[in-house]
Structure 1
């Protein structure tokens, strides 16, 4: 069974008369995702899943990583918002969000008393359902807060192969700290090539409590002293927050951290670019990224332009022009790519070539009904004026 999950925004319309100003509100529905009901034979009950798809899911054939979110009724919307914003800015890949809500009265049972059964439910029923019904890669992330954060850590300690990334906000581990610490000690003795990412947080002791703070400090010491180098982990102390507000910052920062190897490299100067291997190293980076995330091996349009502008600003004009021209070959229908090439030609005082590139940018933007057409047109007029003078 599938239902559409929506959020309601209230838009205020102001109507002004000479005598008064009337405020009229009108609700606007925004689709967040869909609700699916599945019958669990492991838990012997019906459970819900909330699923958010990337914006281009229906118009593409791509496969996507999946982020599984515990306490899903609390964290579905902000996770969807965070992942969308981060993906739009190349901080993480577009991803499918699968939120796992709690049934009434089952949270303590699932996350503590019968957590092994709940782990089996996720492994043997939730993940197969998602992978059967959606285009997914093999890359999976799990997030939990408080008791669910401790559940996430327990998952890493006992079944580290299931997920690639583990994110825990204010994990409450003092109840099972000795057991959990022992499991990690054993894991680190037997697994020297984890190749996983872990990000976890805590607020100050006044907000979290002495026992939770001490238990997490002990866990951090275990990681410092015993974790293999292949485990990419980070603990972040969050100031000026309380236990119930840490999930929002943790989700945003955590996704940024665990997907750091997806993010486009940035360079401060030509020297920086050269010292880090130049174009060959950049191509290798995207080849490795493609293997891990099943994305294109091509260097993205935005990245090539950004690098070329760094070279242009640093006086490497010929090299920048070559890179802009290579970008045009890869992305011939990109108006912004042609505009960028025009900028480089202009910098090199090749005004006629600049004019042609800007004209192409304008033509493409008009054909594509781009909202940036006026911007490209202004750039063209500016270069035309420069040529006349």
Structure 2
């Protein structure tokens, strides 16, 4: 293909830059390849829960695993859960020099066939995979990532091409005849004088042709160099592919309202669930965060709406304490929503009678009933607050006593 000249140039320019040593971790396997006519080594990382569950996992394939396998593993380990990215199996394809250069220069098609027809089937058979596959390639292996993601018979759903890319009509037109979406993330830096022009050209071609099936993004990380970009591009490439995997977060209630409020949140989780085979309901984390944010930013109208819309989350363990019932009730009280305040104060007192909160909650009931014009009941609750304050040496005792006198 036309970009083989680019490959040779990159191979020559980059040869002195990267060392030859490789460090092993995870499981090591050798695959006998009929296409390469040799055994090819791979490293495999399994999520920590792999051995104690029957869960299936997506797979991240890293070309040049001898250098970048650790990057993929580090991302998995540092996430410590599934808040931004799912846990993944990571497969590093070992490509030590000088064999790497020879393979990518002289045995391009054979290596492609090895990846698609031997490596991926081997991993799917040996490990519990979802058969959702993402490919990472750096430099001239980034060219291969582009070609593989646009292959009509591709086994990959997404690709990350760092420090090198190439796309033309011969690749894109057959792909566009398919009725399926795939994802491509291109990354480079203006400081990478060897390869940035190729990434620029690929991005410009995609911009001009407007593929219907390819969801893509090109980002330049201009603080990074040719050798250093991989850490950044792999992380951001995975975030791009899993852009609607995480729970929703907002910086403010104004932002929440600007994107569409609750209807937007519900549609997000519906699309997220359908794409990743997850529950389609809004998750507890998002509900809790929105309620907390409305309270923290003193947005009572939004707080009241969210408390009613997401009332089911109030029955979860998070709110099963006097601390939370008092906190919610106090915010209602501050905004003169007296009946809602009373409901939460009473729940706190009857369900979670923690001594250090009882005086506060009885006093809150007194204030709420006074706000409703029920002075007799208000005085009764204040007296209970004073009693609890006396029993627990509450420093606010005198304040409660003064407030009771002011009720008349």
Shared fold by TM > 0.5? yes
Contact 2:159 2:184 in 1 (8 A): yes
The residue number in structure 2 matching 1:143 is 136
Q: For the aligned residues, what is the CA RMSD? A: 3.2
Matched, 1:386 2:360: yes
Contact 1:83 1:255 in 2 (8 A): no
C-alpha deviation, 1:335, in angstroms:
4.0
TM normalised by structure 2 equals 0.69
The residue number in structure 2 matching 1:196 is 182
C-alpha deviation, 1:35, in angstroms:
2.0
- Please give the secondary structure, in 2, of the residue aligned with 1:88: coil
Contact 1:68 1:99 in 2 (8 A): yes
- Answer with 102-111 or 65-74: which moved more: 102-111
C-alpha deviation, 1:70, in angstroms:
0.7
Contact 2:149 2:158 in 1 (8 A): no
Matched, 1:320 2:294: no
- Please give the secondary structure, in 1, of the residue aligned with 2:187: strand
C-alpha deviation, 1:84, in angstroms:
3.7
- Answer with 267-276 or 297-306: which moved more: 267-276
C-alpha deviation, 1:250, in angstroms:
0.5
In structure 1, C-alpha distance between the alignment counterparts of 2:92 and 2:84, rounded to whole Å:
21
- Answer with 118-127 or 47-56: which moved more: 47-56
> Pick from 250, 260, 263: which aligns with 2:233?
250
Matched, 1:347 2:331: yes
Unaligned stretches of 5+ residues in structure 2? 1-23, 334-340, 362-388, 390-395, 397-408
TM normalised by structure 1 equals 0.72
In structure 2, C-alpha distance between the alignment counterparts of 1:251 and 1:48, rounded to whole Å:
22
The residue number in structure 2 matching 1:307 is 290
Number of residue-to-residue matches in the alignment: 327
> Pick from 173, 176, 181: which aligns with 2:168?
181
The residue number in structure 2 matching 1:131 is 124
In structure 1, C-alpha distance between the alignment counterparts of 2:30 and 2:239, rounded to whole Å:
31
The residue number in structure 2 matching 1:235 is 218
C-alpha deviation, 1:53, in angstroms:
2.1
1:35-73 per-position Cα deviation (integer Å, ceiling 9, x unaligned): 223333332322222222223333333322111111112
In structure 2, C-alpha distance between the alignment counterparts of 1:336 and 1:50, rounded to whole Å:
45
In structure 2, C-alpha distance between the alignment counterparts of 1:99 and 1:215, rounded to whole Å:
25
The residue number in structure 2 matching 1:115 is 108
> Pick from 194, 199, 205: which aligns with 1:222?
205
In structure 1, C-alpha distance between the alignment counterparts of 2:236 and 2:351, rounded to whole Å:
39
Structure richer in strand, relative to its length: 1
Contact 1:67 1:95 in 2 (8 A): yes
- Please give the secondary structure, in 2, of the residue aligned with 1:197: strand
> Bigger radius of gyration, 1 or 2?
2
